[in-house]
Chains A and B, each alone.
Chain A
């Protein structure tokens, strides 16, 4: 049986959950979804459309999220349900939780899988390594294996013909000793970066916060998400939620259009798998051009408005 820790917001399943369900279906038809934390019960009926069994745990100790308490909960569920594989989303929260669970279960941990295949008594996955310059294939055989699934790498599952069963579960949990003092949520009015089929990104070359209007204008005409490099985020020009790269988000749109971005390895590791890469840079020697499909060598202050105008003409 495969146990999936579903991500939800208390109202709906997150996209990563449907992606994990579709990855799991390719491995084993017996799937249980665990819904943990506040509002888990409200999502149970939705989850039951996709899998045979849904377990709901609404213990107040699961709020706010603490990887230490969540790993305790998942250990108890995995052991009772005799799961052979536990799937967790390859988000920051998931990649903090999964290794804790692996230690608790003394199980192999396969991290951030982009591809999952069953093997005799085990699992084979592919994931990116060496700052996404290498694709590595790993294998483990054990009675239980823990894996995280990289977001946006699997298709979303469709509902089953028949709904699964929902059970409420009680666990014995230790209260968290972490005090959350504050939280800054960064929301964007535009299409979510990681789900956008087009992304327009600005780097240090944009020169100022105000000048990002040029990026936003082009993004709005194209219906694209807006991204930024670490340099632009560190300068305070853009929110961290828009950062693409090793310490930001990983995106894989149909086209990644960037201006004033040099193409540092840490940035490439977050967007290098995009279908098409398009760069605007005044320096013809900028490393970004080596990985670009299309590029314009020129001043972004002139090129970006011209692109926005040309894109508008195309749309009209």
Chain B
């Protein structure tokens, strides 16, 4: 089976995000392969345990190369990097990625369920539509037999079990598996793996449907009033009083 894994390079979840002149400034921030995408990479390597026929696909700035190397070090066979530092709306991203899918002809595409930069959940479904494929979003369990896929995924009020046929776009999330850490030998090997570079021009798709006007950090000022709990009854009395009299929420 041939599998594509869409990956992104995003600020580390713990990183403090800064803004400069009304836009997020990632200068100096720790960047990493999006945690949500790692579940897809891991799942691809559980399906094709030798890593054969697994391809990382990244659409983003030059810095995305670190995330690509990480996915290769986890075990994917090779990568395609469409290099662009333009802000691309999701419909445009889906059109470009659909062309890559059509070139590569995979059976399965993995995509993170929500991206840690745009907080968007849209890419998997948008790509599926651009391909006229089905998708499974928020997948937590997956079983593939021949061309039949059984999956459990989260819906708004619980869980649902589905059965579908390949090809599919599957969006991944925590719970699907435990992503592996790359070993040192695999990190060395990954340095030699192929990353095919492409540009937006190669795909003849123009972006620009959505403009970013501004990005602001809103750190709400918190009161930070800490009470010592050595005397539980007194501490509880004090907290309930603060919530009643000062915050007026109970």
Using known A-B contacts A100-B129, A135-B215, determine if residue A293 contacts B157 with beta carbons closer than 8 Å.
Answer: no
Which of B69-77, B148-156, B191-199 contacts its partner? B148-156
Across the A-B interface, how many residue pairs have beta carbons closer than 8 Å?
A: 270
- Cβ of A295 within 8 Å of any chain B Cβ, yes or no, is yes
Closest to B114 in A: A246
B201 interface contact, C-beta 8 A? no
Give, as a whole number of angstroms, the nearest-CB distance from B194 to chain A.
30
Separation of A92 and B156 alpha carbons in the complex (Å)? 6
Instruction: Provide the bound-state CA to CA distance between A307 and B238, in Å.
Output: 9
Cα A289 to Cα B247 with chains together (Å): 17
* Contact yes or no, A295 B212, CB < 8 A: no
Contact B160 A255 (CB under 8 A): no
Contact of A140 among B118, B159, B210, B227 (CB under 8 A): B210
Contact string, B170-184, partner A, CB cutoff 8 A, digits 1/0? 000111000000000
Give the size range of A's interface with the partner: 35 or more
Inter-chain contact B158/A255, CB cutoff 8 Å: no
With A99-B94, A234-B175 as contacts: A302 and B232 at CB distance below 8 Å? yes
Q: Are A255 and B216 in contact (CB under 8 A)?
A: no
Mask of A219-244 contacts with B, CB within 8 angstroms, 1/0: 00010000000100010000011000
Given A71-B129, A108-B210, A129-B215, does the pair A306, B233 have CB atoms closer than 8 Å?
A: yes
Q: How many residues of B contact A (CB 8 A)?
A: 79
Asked, given contacts A278-B243, A293-B225, whether A130 binds B17 with beta carbons under 8 Å apart, the answer is yes
In the assembled complex, the Cα of A244 lies from the Cα of B114 at a distance in Å of 15
Partner of A297, one of B19, B120, B162, B226: B226
Contact B228 A297 (CB under 8 A): yes
The proximity string for A residues 192-228 relative to B, scoring 1 for CB distances below 8 Å and 0 otherwise, is 0000011000000000000000000000001000000
B11 within 8 A of A: yes
User: What is the CA–CA distance of A280 and B238 in the complex, to the nearest angstrom?
Assistant: 13
- Judging by beta carbons under 8 Å apart, are A179 and B119 in contact? no
Chain A residues whose C-beta falls within 8 Å of the C-beta of B175 in the assembled complex: 234, 247
Q: A93-B156, A109-B89, A276-B247 are in contact. Are A294 and B242 (CB under 8 A)?
A: yes
B213 touches A129 (CB 8 A): no
Binding stretch for chain A, among B45-53, B58-66, B100-108, B133-141: B133-141
Which residues of chain A are near B226, meaning CB under 8 Å?
284, 289, 292, 294-297
Given A93-B155, A108-B89, the answer on whether A127 and B164 have CB atoms closer than 8 Å is: no
Q: Nearest Cβ distance between residue B235 and chain A, in whole angstroms?
A: 5
Decide yes or no whether A153 CB sits under 8 A from chain B. no
Q: Does A142 contact B (CB under 8 A)?
A: yes
Stretch from A46-54, A157-165, A308-316 forming part of the interface with B: A308-316
Q: Which B residues are CB-close (under 8 A) to A79?
A: none
The smallest C-beta distance from A256 to any residue of chain B, in angstroms, reads 10
Is the C-beta of A106 less than 8 angstroms from some C-beta in chain B?
Answer: yes
User: Which of A95, A129, A142, A278 touches B239 (beta carbons < 8 Å)?
Assistant: A278
Say yes or no for A275: interface residue by CB 8 A criterion: yes
Interface residues of A in 135-157 (CB under 8 A from B): 135-140, 142
Which chain A positions have C-beta within 8 A of B95? 103
Cα distance A133–B126 in the bound complex, in angstroms: 25
Nearest CB in chain A to that of B29: its residue: A130
Is B214 within 8 A of A136, CB to CB? yes
Q: Mark A243-255, 1 if CB is under 8 A from B, else 0.
A: 0001100000011
How far does the alpha carbon of A311 sit from the alpha carbon of B134 in the complex, in Å?
Answer: 51
Among the 9-residue stretches A21-29, A55-63, A183-191, the one with 4 or more Cβ atoms under 8 Å from chain B is A183-191
CA distance in complex: A71, B212 (Å): 26
In the complex, chain A residues whose CB is within 8 Å of the CB of B216: 134-137
* In the complex, chain A residues whose CB is within 8 Å of the CB of B89: 108-109, 140
Interface residues of A (CB under 8 A from B): 67-68, 71, 91-93, 95-100, 102-104, 106-112, 124, 127-140, 142, 177-187, 197-198, 222, 230, 234, 240-241, 246-247, 254-255, 264-266, 269, 272-273, 275-278, 280, 284, 289-299, 302-303, 305-307, 309-311, 313-314
Can you list 22 pairs linking A and B with CB atoms under 8 Å apart?
A103-B91, A111-B121, A129-B118, A134-B217, A136-B212, A177-B164, A181-B162, A183-B160, A198-B250, A246-B114, A247-B138, A247-B175, A254-B247, A273-B220, A294-B226, A295-B227, A298-B230, A302-B232, A306-B232, A306-B235, A307-B239, A307-B240
In the complex, besides A92-B156, A310-B236, 11 extra interface pairs with C-beta distance below 8 angstroms are A138-B213, A178-B162, A181-B163, A183-B159, A240-B154, A247-B154, A254-B247, A272-B220, A292-B224, A297-B228, A303-B235
